[in-house]
Structure 1
Amino acid sequence: MSIVVTGATGQFGRLTLTHLLSRGIAPADIVAAGRNAEKVDALKSLGVRTAVIDFSDPATLASAFEGGDTLLLVSGSDVGGRLQQHRNAIDAAKAAGVSRIVYTSAPRADSTDLILAPEHKATEEYLRASGVPFTILRNNWYTENYASTLSQVAETGVYAASTGEGRVASASRSDYAEAAAVVLTTDGHEGAVYELSGDTAWTGTDFAAILSDVLGRDVRFESLSTDAHTAALLAAGLDEGTAGFVAGLDANIATGALDKSSDDLSSLIGHPTTPAADTLRTLAA
């Protein structure tokens, strides 16, 4: 078995490597691929093979994917430009004879109004049309996405958002990475689409209570309208595009885009997902 992991220098990719190794995969059977040459070189200490790749340069993909049995295609971070990059990776994997592509997508990518989903939906469609066997991991929200919220709330005692009564079924990044490692190393996942989310979905009020416990101070949830939230973000110094994106994402949450979708995640990893409080407590420490 030879497994190629793209985005291996990122947090999710690096955790996936850890879980693959803990599952007994020989380091020599793993190719850790990433764009930053220095960070890629640092992964050699794990004993894995490495490759410097650029999704925008198909030649680098061809050499990295050659001889690979399974490819973990971690979605790119170039929002607005990653669809073509994903297509390049899928084409290169097909040409290299990769037997299966595991792609990290967005929750309910083919039916949601989540502002992050269109490129994922298009990638899924391209992957299906490629003829390469696939598994799709539709990852919900990482609890670690709220790392920057901790310091702000610690100062103000206020968690402000325009999510209304919407719920977020977050899990730790490690939970999702472990699921990827399971799917990469076990049979029976060809053609599967997994809706991965945390066991518990929380509201803004719930999250304020979690933050109170983690930070050891009273935290209240301030529920804002989308317009008021956008204005507050602009006043805090965010540019118009970023403020609109953040408020738009909260509007998606308010209508259920990040609510719990299934028990697929805990079923795959064989244990409950990590509670938000545990992840936040680690971040706070």
Structure 2
Amino acid sequence: MSIVVTGATGHLGRLVIDELLAGAGTEAGVPADRVVAVVRDAEKASDIAARGVELRVADYSAPDTLKAAFEEGDVVLLISGSEVGQRVAQHTAVIDAAKEAGVARLVYTGILGGPKADIALADEHKATEQALLDSGLTHTLLRNGWYTENYTAQIPVHLEHGVVGSAGEGRVGTATRRDFAAAAAAVLTGEGHENKTYELSGDHAWTLAEYAAELSRQSGRTVTYTDLPEAAFAEALVGAGLPAPVAALYADCDANGIAAGQLEGGSGDLSRLIGRPTTPLADTIAEALQG
């Protein structure tokens, strides 16, 4: 039996492999020869292979390639794809291939709130969860909240132009990708997670105004938060270079997700799974500022 990580060359996938090999909170890590990385491009995964991890080349969009990605008894992590509009078909292809192979369990990274999430970005995740339930596979649902890096990756822009959004005074319970990766590794290696669902968010939710204030404090620059109506925020994102459909999704997440309290979280599932507090916003900002 192997632990199989799909999308292994992405930001989250690489961190999950790191956590598996490091131990995921246990005394010893998973032996490298029990970890498999499913990748589209083996060359881009050469550093992963150099650690002794087996590579299997497959593409979510090419179902025939997925037939060799899984073996009977594997525990599989399906990291959601990044191609909005294509993900239901892609994820269903993975689920079908996993079922055909006879995997022991499939773990899926969905979205905080699951069926209750009332934002457009959640639609494909909800459809994937239903496809997984319909498959009859033993599963674990990891409903991930927002990554803190969604914001800290934009710090140069925020220092220059301030923070703009449509979140109002809504709070967002972010955690770092490393926190979410540690949770995935714990679920992949631990016992008692069969057919369980976890709502994953940071321990302390914050507003965008509080984020701007903390960034101001640490940078020594004055950073303000400007709240815009949803349509105006979408227009601003288009002006910054985002395609209109993507801008509309982001604005919807702010106005109908964060402002409506849907992304605040607070279940405590994430910190319980990883056995420690989630990484504070201030720490992630400090790390980003240090470069």
**TM class by shorter-chain length?**
over 0.9
Q: What is aligned with 2:19?
A: 19
Whether 1:42 and 2:51 are equivalent positions in the alignment is no
**Residues 64-213 of structure 1 mapped to structure 2, 5 A cutoff:** 64-156=69-161, 158-213=162-217
- Quick one: distance in 1 between partners of 2:153 and 2:20? 29
| Ranges in structure 1 where 5+ consecutive residues have no aligned partner | none
DSSP-derived class of the 1:46 partner? coil
Q: Is the 8 A contact 1:33 1:40 kept in 2?
A: no
- Asked if the contact 1:40/1:51 (under 8 Å) is kept, the reply is no
Displacement of 1:64: 1.7
Aligned counterparts of 2:141 and 2:207: Cα–Cα separation in 1? 27
Structure 1 residue 243 and structure 2 residue 212: aligned?
no
Q: 1:141·1:170 contact (CA, 8 Å) conserved in 2?
A: yes
- Identical amino acids, percent of aligned pairs: 51
Whether the 8 Å contact between 2:152 and 2:284 is mirrored in structure 1 is: no
Deviations 1:227-257 (A, max 9, x none): 3323333333434323322221211211112
Deviations 1:197-222 (A, max 9, x none): 00011012211112113322222221
The one-letter code sitting in structure 2 at the alignment partner of 1:281 is A
* More divergent stretch after superposition (125-134 vs 55-64): 55-64
CA contact (8 A) 2:153 2:288 kept: no
Q: How far apart are 1:58 and its partner, in Å? A: 2.3
Residue by residue over 1:119-172, the C-alpha shift from the partner in whole angstroms, topping out at 9 and shown as x without a partner, is: 11111111111111000000000011113420012123x212111011110000
Deviations 1:172-217 (A, max 9, x none): 0000000000000010000100000000110122111121133222
Give, in whole Å, the separation in 2 of the partners of 1:95 and 1:231.
45
The equivalent residue for 1:32 is 37
Mapped partners of 1:108, 1:52: distance in 2: 32
Number of the residue aligned with 1:51: 56
What is the CA distance between 1:273 and its match in structure 2? 0.1
Moved over 6 A (4+): none
Deviation per residue, 1:46-104 (Å, 9 max, x gap): 11111111112223212120245200011111111111111111111111110100000
1:160, 1:224 within 8 Å by CA — same for their partners in 2? Answer: yes
Q: What's the CA shift for 1:3?
A: 0.5
Residue ranges of structure 2 left out of the alignment (5+ in a row): 24-28
Aligned length: 284
Cα distance in 2, alignment partners of residues 68 and 10 from structure 1: 24
Structure 2 residue 220 is the aligned partner of structure 1 residue 216: yes
Q: How far, CA to CA, are the matches of 1:101 and 1:2 in structure 2? A: 12
2:67 to 62, 65, 86: 62
Question: Is contact 1:204-1:221 (8 Å) kept?
Answer: yes
CA RMSD of aligned residues (A): 1.4
Supply the AA of the counterpart residue of 2:8: A
Equivalent position amino acid for 1:14 in 2: R
d(CA) in 1 for partners of 2:241, 2:285:
25
SS at match of 1:110: helix
